[in-house]
Amino acid sequence: MTSSTARAAGVPLSALDTPAVGYRRLRRVGVWLAAGLVLVLALVAGALIGPAGLTPGGVLLELVGALPGIHVDSGLSAQQQAILWQIRLPRVVLGALVGATLAVSGAAYQGVFRNPLADPYLLGVSAGAGLGATIALTVQAGSLSVPLSAFIGGLLAVGATYALGSSVGGGRSSSVIVLAGVAVAAFFSAIQTTWQQWFDDSLLAVYSWMLGRLSTNGWSDVLMVLPYVVVSWVVLLLHRRTFDVLAVGDIEAASLGINVPRVRLVLVLTATLGTTAVVSVSGLIGFVGIIVPHAVRIIMGGSHRILLLMAMLFGAVFLVLADVVARSLVAPAELPIGVVTALVGAPFFLVVLRRNRRLT
């Protein structure tokens, strides 16, 4: 019996507090606490591990000394402190922002389009951002122009997707929008390939960007993407109940008073804004938006009231740890982080594919 049914029947809500319900609540609180603890440990691990030779004890003392009212001598030199605060920590924070945004955007796309295999690059963001970054890298317009060009390219691709979908009869339906995204992505990818053939001396730089990386210019990249990802997070979280309503179908959602085309447009553009912002500074990091939401569903269930926020937490953890592996596996060299996420994500994707096939 649900709480609304209990009220209608005059049954006290306290009667619903069975041991099973109490256990589920306790388990959920435990998962939240564990997720928060894992995130803190992942951030600390990202700060501790690196090729610069910083001692773990010194790094921990330096971090503790940054807390208000605590003054300790970490023993780190001025150069080591600069490495920690201006290189390593910005990279860890950027990894958390990118992972959280890709994960929550993937969960949003899957909810809006009711497609468990949707990801943040569904509507051509990756192709548009890739084209923009390729143009910036080949004309050598400066490192700061690469994120801006990727950002503009991603937004143009999504805008073209919606323009193409709207030009078709019934183009506001989710299936037509997805098909338009496939067409736009193919078109932008073709332009990118042609451009690369004209400037083949820049292929290494282009492929390095496309494989994903979290190298930063200090805190500037973090500050650049922070406003966009915060806006994206807030809007998506405010609509977390709307996602559950959309899951029952467009007709049913419309009967409940939701303007489905308008809400879908707002949610898709919001998720795209965050995705394009982080992709512009990190390159194309795949699988995060697929495997993290599905892992959360296995643990916490499919309600978006919990799924979106938990996906953000686990997405941040996943990408920070993936970056630690990328920095450590072949040190002092570094693997592209997209390779690490693909090594984990591809097998998980196959599991998800088989699981959803059994459910259909």
- Statement: residue 195 has pLDDT above 60: yes
Does any domain span residue 11?
Answer: no
Domain edge (last residue) among 211, 246, 261: 211
Same domain, 354 and 320: yes
* 115 in the same domain as 134: no
Question: Which residue, 177, 211, 245, sits at the end of a domain?
Answer: 211
Find out whether 324 and 91 touch, Cβ atoms under 8 Å.
no
- Distance, CA of 129 to CA of 124 (rounded, Å): 8
For residue 98, what are the domain limits?
Answer: 21-49+93-119+225-360
pLDDT of residue 10: 47
Using the predicted structure, report yes or no on whether residue 353 has a pLDDT greater than 80. no
163 & 264 share domain? no
**Is the pTM above the cut of 0.85?**
yes
- 250 and 133 part of one domain: no
| 220-238 helix and 260-282 helix, angle to the nearest 10 degrees | 160
Q: What is the pLDDT of residues 50-101, one digit of tens each?
A: 877 788 888 888 888 888 888 888 788 888 888 899 989 999 999 999 999 9
**Cα separation values, 155 from 123, 162, 212, 271, Å:** 10, 11, 19, 11
For 26, the token pair is 């306790």
Domain match, 113 and 130 both: no
Are 155 and 114 found together in one domain? no
The residue assigned the tokens 């945004």 is: 101
